[in-house]
Structure 1
Amino acid sequence: MSLPDGPAGLRDALPAAIDPLALSLNENPFPPLPSVRAALVDCLGAANRYPEFLPERMRALIAARIGVRDDQVVIGTGATGVILQVLHALTAPGDTMVMTAPTFDGYPIFAQMARLRSVTVPLDVHGRHDLDAMAAAAATARVVVLCRPHNPTGTIESAQDIERFLGRVGPDTAVLLDEAYEEFLSPSERIDTRELVLRFPNVVVIRTFSKAYGLAGLRIGYGFCAPDLARRLWTMQLPFGIGLTGLVAAAACYRAEDELRQRIRTISVERRRLRTRLSAMGVYSTDARANFVYLPGGANGRRGWPAVFEGTGVRVRAYADGGVRITVGTEQSTRAVLSAVAAAMV
């Protein structure tokens, strides 16, 4: 797509920071926190200089924050960048990668890019992993993907169930524990992943600044794992691959933790309100713990949720079974979703 000439034209071509109808990509509905935005503006004066050859400072910053050693952390251009580093480092064409159906849209694409064979395991009727079936499929796989909270259903498995699953996966099978939405979980729902990666050295925990932190446009992701595996993944780091803005933004986000928690509370409250209102209308949604809700295609005998939102302007993510994933936005976004659903039920 060509962009209009001139600064004003370029601004007009950018996506709106606040768009109550943009509910398909699980973006944070709010612009970056004011202190983060100010830090980004301040760093633009150094844009004529290259960033670090390898992102050592970013690595140290994140490691200190999450409480692991520097040499346990890898950095990527978003979570997707880390996932591709894992696949490039650990797989060969023709290897098998196990994932759920449905799953995060990127995983089938990444498998194709790495020339892997995809094996999909259906979710159960409540939108949860079938961990027994996944463990069986992983017996002959090089990589298996576990999302917690799951994308697109938002469900979580208990720490005990996750550990039992990991105990059944062979040490030569890499497990991608995708925690892109981890910040939306309550403390009691979180797993001690620092200890987990030391007990299971084939696990790579994947996280991102795109969701709760609201920096999807800056593409900042990271992973952490046991030191031996991390050293192998670090060989896949792209030189000069992480821009100056990434380091500045990550540091500013960590300094603004109180403001971040308030935003997460705001989104979580809106998610509960949306689910409650949908339930009152007789609409089932999975027990989502992230910044979205999921309406299964077969729920309440309804199939074809995508058609409900056609022509309304509300943009949701549609799935082949007729289900939809709806990002939690502002109160205006919730009203638009409920209005579309109510109109379809008349």
Structure 2
Amino acid sequence: MIDESTVRQEILKIEPYVPGKPIEDVKRELGLEKVIKLASNENPLGPAPQAIEKMKETVEQVNIYPDGNVHYLRQKLATKLGVREDELIFGNGSDELLALLGQTFITDEAEVIIAGTTFSEYRFATNIMGGKIVSVSLKDYAHDLEAMAAAITPNTKLIFICNPNNPTGTIVTEEEVKDFLTQVPDDVLVIFDEAYYEYVDHSAYPETIDYLADYENVIILRTFSKAYALAGLRIGYGIANQKLIDYIDRVRQPFNVNLMAQKAAIASLGAEDHLAKAVELNQAGKEYLYQEFDKLELDYVPTSSNFILVDLAQDSTQVFQELMKRGIIIRNMESFGYQTKIRVTVGLPEENQAFIKQLKAVLND
């Protein structure tokens, strides 16, 4: 008989990831012709024209396996970041890199420190390997690095710091990080997940690459999914000292980064004007949404990313469902423990305006 005893017991601790509702599902289920998705922190501007053109050129080559070493992207990114080529590792999105970190470093005796409200994949990477989650509550919606340092024990193996944090959009500052790192033993790995790095405009945001020279236990994760608008291609990368990269690379599957993703990422790195446009669009969108939330007297968390956490002061699930009926998909925060909050991605101007219009209608019903 197949039952829970059939599977590894670690699997039973895992809660499946719940992504933002897909547009096509909402259209089909609700019979809608037009749907706006502001749920998954995607870049509404889309990929750079150069990346689109490179993808078109690459279509006829997909019968060939991709470069398993990601040579040309590795070369270009190393130059851009000012790191060595052997200090980079690439993955099928940052999600794969998180899984690789778990497979490389987490055992059933390991403790992994994370923020109480943060990206759920840290729990997945830990639980699937049988590690123990040590959750530290946020302080003013941001990581409490002082409390996280105090939570370190001889069994601590990894510490995940999502900066900016998802779903709150807050950051930890350079001063806080520098003080924190002095308190972390050098055999405890500190992973800075900087998926929204390109959107940050806060002057106190740390440039973590500078820490690599002094801290062998620092790993940085970034992605092409967000500001570079390549979420559908799944490509992320990690930065760390060569020794750590070599360990992680041993559990990486061959050909894990597809050909289209490699070509598009290379082209995207050369499209600085498009990236700047995306960042500028996001900043303008944030300011508009802030103003509208203020008018509606809704509390929100000022963000350093491309999404905003908003407190509706009422059941967020009901508002989420009503907005979906009106063709607007946002993210309900109930699964994060926020019963009255939603997370909304900053969209194009017309998308932001449509969201506010429908939000007003729902709140006034």
TM-score normalized by the length of structure 2: 0.84
Deviation at 1:190, TM superposition (A): 3.9
Deviation at 1:245, TM superposition (A): 1.1
| Residues 296 and 162 of structure 1, relative CA distance in 2, 3 Å threshold | farther
For 1:52 and 1:271, how far apart are their aligned partners in 2? Answer: 39
Give the residue type in structure 2 aligned to 1:304: D
Question: Higher mean Cα deviation, 97-106 or 189-198?
Answer: 189-198
2:361 to 330, 343, 346: 343
Residue matched to 2:309: 294
Give the residue type in structure 2 aligned to 1:132: E
Give the residue type in structure 2 aligned to 1:85: L
Residue matched to 2:10: none
Matches within 5 A, 1:99-138: 99-124=114-139, 126-138=140-152
Deviation beyond 4 Å, 4+ runs, structure 1: 12-16
Note if 1:151 corresponds to 2:169.
Answer: no
TM-score normalized by the length of structure 1: 0.88
Unaligned runs of 5+ in 1: 1-11
Answer yes or no: is the 8 Å Cα contact 1:20–1:332 preserved in 2: no
For 1:117 and 1:187, how far apart are their aligned partners in 2? Answer: 33
Residue matched to 1:236: 251
Deviation at 1:103, TM superposition (A): 0.8
Note if 1:195 corresponds to 2:203.
Answer: no
Residue matched to 1:58: 73
Deviation at 1:188, TM superposition (A): 3.1
Answer yes or no: is the 8 Å Cα contact 2:101–2:125 preserved in 1: no
SS, match of residue 163 in structure 1: helix
Residue matched to 2:352: 334
Give the residue type in structure 1 aligned to 2:331: R
SS, match of residue 142 in structure 1: strand
2:86 to 50, 61, 71: 71
Deviation at 1:303, TM superposition (A): 4.2
Note if 1:171 corresponds to 2:171.
Answer: no
Give the residue type in structure 1 aligned to 2:285: E
Answer yes or no: is the 8 Å Cα contact 1:22–1:316 preserved in 2: yes
Residue matched to 2:19: none
SS, match of residue 308 in structure 2: strand
SS, match of residue 182 in structure 2: helix
Question: Higher mean Cα deviation, 31-40 or 313-322?
Answer: 313-322
1:37 to 37, 49, 52: 52
For 1:228 and 1:143, how far apart are their aligned partners in 2? Answer: 16
Provide, for residues 300-338 of structure 1, a one-character-per-residue CA deviation record: whole Å limited to 9, x for no partner: xx2423322322222222222212211111223222332
Residue matched to 1:318: 332
For 1:136 and 1:26, how far apart are their aligned partners in 2? Answer: 32
For 1:104 and 1:328, how far apart are their aligned partners in 2? Answer: 18
| Residues 257 and 332 of structure 1, relative CA distance in 2, 3 Å threshold | same
Answer yes or no: is the 8 Å Cα contact 1:97–1:143 preserved in 2: yes
Give the residue type in structure 1 aligned to 2:145: L
Matches within 5 A, 1:169-318: 169-186=184-201, 188-296=203-311, 302-313=313-324, 314-318=328-332
For 2:361 and 2:25, how far apart are their aligned partners in 1? Answer: 32
Aligned residues: 328
Unaligned runs of 5+ in 2: 1-22, 28-33
For 2:311 and 2:109, how far apart are their aligned partners in 1? Answer: 32
SS, match of residue 310 in structure 1: helix
Give the residue type in structure 2 aligned to 1:269: A
For 2:311 and 2:276, how far apart are their aligned partners in 1? Answer: 29
| Residues 14 and 34 of structure 1, relative CA distance in 2, 3 Å threshold | farther
Deviation at 1:57, TM superposition (A): 3.1
Answer yes or no: is the 8 Å Cα contact 1:182–1:190 preserved in 2: no
Give the residue type in structure 2 aligned to 1:324: I
Answer yes or no: is the 8 Å Cα contact 1:149–1:156 preserved in 2: yes
Answer yes or no: is the 8 Å Cα contact 1:54–1:237 preserved in 2: no
Deviation at 1:34, TM superposition (A): 1.7
Deviation at 1:212, TM superposition (A): 0.2
| Residues 339 and 309 of structure 1, relative CA distance in 2, 3 Å threshold | farther
For 2:35 and 2:51, how far apart are their aligned partners in 1? Answer: 22
Deviation at 1:68, TM superposition (A): 0.2
Answer yes or no: is the 8 Å Cα contact 1:20–1:333 preserved in 2: no
Give the residue type in structure 2 aligned to 1:321: Y
For 1:274 and 1:234, how far apart are their aligned partners in 2? Answer: 42
Provide, for residues 279-301 of structure 1, a one-character-per-residue CA deviation record: whole Å limited to 9, x for no partner: 2221111120110000247xxxx
